[in-house]
Chains A and B, each alone.
Chain A
């Protein structure tokens, strides 16, 4: 993965850390932004696999699950696989590992539509994925959580965007050159 992309992600998530922590606090322990940022910083400074460095430093469920997305983007950047296929593969892996599916109010609600949009749009898969991820993340606001800590909460997080879905949208948005935060 290019260091400039990771560098851009770190900067983006530095700006988002508190926002993501607050989204997470509505339903969880309020550290999602901090966890993702810790992983990204480690990935930025590692010489080996960005995904492994991310997973080890981030820890938690987010560490293992988002490492699969980081790995997918890494493979795309090395031109091993097109974006749509990479995102679809990551979504499958995340679904299996996290025992979650579309509609459970998780990161998958941004990732699955992003993968589908990228596969469908041969002209500009990146822009399509970003738009779909952002829309998908926004739709999690009305959902009630079926997985993760959020499902244990009074009203299961209805009324709050899922922090994981928001992070997926932000990571993908960074794929667009000169992109700005969609916060």
Chain B
């Protein structure tokens, strides 16, 4: 498989070179070259800072969401590999002030282990740093075991709502409470059509017969948990929306934000078709859609597939979701 890169061990660094060169008024490298931070920051003694560490290869998430009204920094690990605790700690040291910081952790084994280790080390150093676990994928653990689920595209709601709230001056404890509430109101289910190619191995990340679709694909291309035969997208979406609403029923008239996330190799044409089907399903149930987001944000190379995330925001959460932001890759959210 052809991929455009110089060498395996420079992939993350070369990408960051391009990123900071492209958006110098928004982002800059930190003291550590694997820390990407806002180029102009409010004094972090006054504003709670938001960070996330993750393996790269999922762009534009999370690096592309660093900016005003969103994340303060992203600690970039190697491809699909959580950054080491030592690397995360350098990011926390650089960007934690008197107001404190929150390390967002999308619930994946490596990110959790290394994130928690980094927070422990930061606390030992006297920093006011906390972690917030993010999880939303209903296929990864059954109802009732929500806190064992993994993080998927729906974590974007937490980034944005907390980013806007932190910018508005919310305190550390209030932000943590708000983040948990957003998490409780978010559900995601993904479907994969075809695998991506790992840049590390040059191999497809899973195999799937031509006439089958996997339900419950992980963001690293982990094979899914259920299969369906390929058919009209309406049937697939109807099934997925029903699964989500069974897991977390939404009552008639509740404003709901829909996020359709492409896995990297799925076209906007397809994603909009999915959105049209989701709209139809929710409308017939009397659930109004507000401020949707449609595009490829949390990707796994050229994997083909998508996820549907539903988020039922409280009024203030919806305001934060719609609040202006200035980052390289977060889209404009419309009413």
Chain A residues with a Cβ under 8 A of chain B = 21, 25, 27-31, 34-35, 38, 52, 55-65, 97-98, 147-149, 152-154
Contact = CB atoms under 8 A, between A and B. Distances in A.
A147 B109 contact: yes
Nearest to B196: A29
A91 to B, nearest CB: 16
26 contacts: A21-B203, A25-B203, A28-B220, A28-B222, A29-B205, A29-B220, A29-B221, A30-B200, A55-B86, A58-B81, A58-B84, A59-B55, A60-B82, A63-B84, A63-B114, A64-B110, A64-B114, A64-B117, A97-B117, A149-B218, A149-B222, A152-B216, A152-B222, A152-B225, A154-B223, A154-B224
Nearest to B140: A152
Contacts of B79: 31
Contacts of A153: 222-223, 225
Interface in B65-124: 77-87, 108-110, 113-114, 117
A132 B146 CA distance: 37
A64 B108 contact: no
Contact of B198 (A27, A31, A52, A63): A31
Contacts of A52: 86
Contacts of A28: 220, 222
Given A30-B198, A30-B203, A153-B225, A55 B85 contact: yes
A123 B78 CA distance: 43
Nearest to A21: B201
Contacts of B110: 59-64
Interface string B198-221: 101101011000000000101011
A31 B86 contact: no
A27 B222 contact: yes
Interface string B228-249: 0000000000000000000000
B201 A56 contact: no
The prevalent SS among residues of B at the interface is: loop
A149 B108 contact: yes
A64 B203 contact: no
B141 to A, nearest CB: 9
B150 interface: yes
Nearest to A18: B201
B223 A59 contact: no
A29 B80 contact: yes
A34 B220 contact: no
B224 A60 contact: no
Q: Which 3 A-B pairs have the closest CB atoms?
A: A61-B110, A60-B110, A59-B81
Contacts of A98: 109, 113
Nearest to B109: A61
Interface string B129-165: 0000000000110000000001000000000000000
A100 to B, nearest CB: 9
Contacts of A27: 222-223
Contacts of A21: 200-201, 203
Contacts of A152: 139-140, 150, 216, 218, 222, 225
A44 B301 CA distance: 32
A65 B109 CA distance: 11
A149 B80 CA distance: 12
Nearest to B207: A25
B90 to A, nearest CB: 10
Given A34-B200, A63-B114, 19 more contacts: A21-B203, A28-B220, A29-B198, A38-B78, A56-B87, A59-B81, A59-B87, A60-B55, A61-B109, A61-B110, A63-B81, A63-B110, A65-B113, A97-B117, A149-B108, A149-B220, A152-B150, A152-B216, A154-B227
